[in-house]
């Protein structure tokens, strides 16, 4: 980044239920794949010993069972996320973000966090939010509507791409299609 020019972006707002659901949907996507694979493996081995039926019938039954278990798990997680949003007053607090060439500062009535660019492990761009994962397991959600203009959003992407080693990955999560 050009050191003679100091870029600073201020963004603020309150998380909406839709944005929190999109974040949870993004996180559930990775868990659901793991659940599906583990269920498949866990069911295929005993089914061979317990069920005396041809493989051509047993495999579709195990696939159907794995889909069903994954679907039920996804519904449980989605309902839990909705309840959490409705009952958690902290998620509804006004949030302020300050993005500079040094990092991201996030503050609310309950907390103040400064994240340097070197601390960021991953970044994702979803339909309506940016997700920044720092210190490997902490998540910062920055909704796109918090930016005062499209230019600020584009400047944010530019600052991110210039200051972190990894690229901001585009990931499509449509909360209407995901369970």
* Residue 133 belongs to domain with CATH number: 2.30.29.30
The CA–CA distances, whole Å, from 108 to 3, 75, 114 equal 29, 31, 12
Q: Using a pLDDT cut of 70, give the percent of the chain over it.
A: 86
* Cα dihedral across residues 139, 118, 95, 172: positive or negative: negative
Q: Is the pLDDT of residue 171 over 70?
A: no
CA angle 81, 84, 89 (to 5 degrees): 140
Q: Is residue 131 part of a domain?
A: yes
Sheet order of strands, 129-134 included: 138-143, 129-134, 120-125, 169-170
Q: Which of 52, 87, 122 is at the close of a domain?
A: 87
- The residue among 62 and 168 whose pLDDT is bigger is 62
Contact in structure between 62 and 44 (CB atoms under 8 Å): yes
Q: Is residue 178 part of a domain?
A: no
pTM for the complete prediction?
0.75
Distance from C-alpha of 143 to C-alpha of 130, rounded to nearest angstrom: 6
Phi/psi region, residue 13 (left: phi>0; alpha: psi -120 to 50; beta: rest), is left
Q: Is residue 179 part of a domain?
A: no
In this structure, are 26 and 82 located in the same domain? yes
Q: Is the pLDDT of residue 137 over 80?
A: yes
Q: Look up the domain containing 104 and give its range.
A: 8-15+93-170
Q: Is residue 176 part of a domain?
A: no
Check residue 174 and give its pLDDT. 47
**Domain count within the chain:** 2
């Amino acid at each position: 980044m050009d050191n003679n020019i100091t870029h600073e972006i201020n963004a603020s707002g309150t998380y909406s239920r839709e944005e929190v659901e999109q974040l949870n949907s993004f996180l559930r996507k990775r868990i659901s794949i793991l659940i599906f694979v583990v269920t498949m493996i866990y069911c295929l081995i005993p089914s061979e010993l317990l069920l005396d039926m041809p493989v051509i019938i047993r495999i579709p039954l195990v696939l159907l069972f794995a889909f069903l278990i994954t679907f039920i798990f996804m519904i449980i997680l989605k309902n839990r996320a909705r309840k959490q949003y409705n009952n958690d007053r902290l998620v509804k607090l006004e949030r302020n973000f300050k993005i500079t060439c040094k990092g991201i500062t996030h503050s609310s009535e309950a907390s103040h966090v400064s994240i340097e660019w070197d601390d960021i492990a991953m970044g994702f761009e979803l339909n309506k939010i940016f997700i920044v994962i720092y210190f490997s397991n902490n998540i910062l959600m920055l909704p796109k509507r918090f930016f005062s203009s499209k230019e600020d959003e584009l400047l944010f992407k530019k600052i991110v791409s210039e200051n972190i080693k990894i690229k901001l990955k585009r990931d499509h999560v449509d909360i209407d299609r995901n369970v």
